Amino acid sequence: MALLKCNTVMPARLKPFYAEELLSYRVAFAAGDLPLAWYHLERAHIIGQAYPWEHTKAHWLMLRFGFSIKSWKEVRGQVLRLLVGGVKSFVGKIPVGNTGGAKVPPLLSMPLPPDLQAILERKMD
């Protein structure tokens, strides 16, 4: 019988990277640089997608972003992801590297950006 890996808490070593991406998102959004803001949301999603709370927060912010730019496709896509994303994270069934936006199939694994791959693969120091 296979055991499910239940993720509940993001490791402390990842929290600063996740927080940095969210801060960069907020700064870019406040400055009106929407492409840069979205870029940082996608990166936060990649870092947090294995952890239910951080994964859900990334999708919540993406939903709010969709509303702010009046992208009903993004809003619809984020509502669907909010319904199942956290559960998938909890049981360790995530598409690694998926950027989380509505333009990307929700179950598609994607190549990790090299810097994020290094962060995610780094062993505990």
For residues 64 and 79, the answer to whether their CB atoms sit within 8 Å is no
For residues 99 and 82, the answer to whether their CB atoms sit within 8 Å is no
pLDDT at 2: 36
pLDDT at 6: 65
- pLDDT in 10s for each residue of the chain, 125 residues: 333 456 788 999 999 999 999 999 999 999 999 999 999 999 999 999 989 899 999 999 999 999 999 999 999 999 999 987 766 776 667 888 999 999 999 889 999 999 999 999 885 44
Phi (first) and psi of residue 63, to 5 degrees:
-60, -45
pTM: 0.89
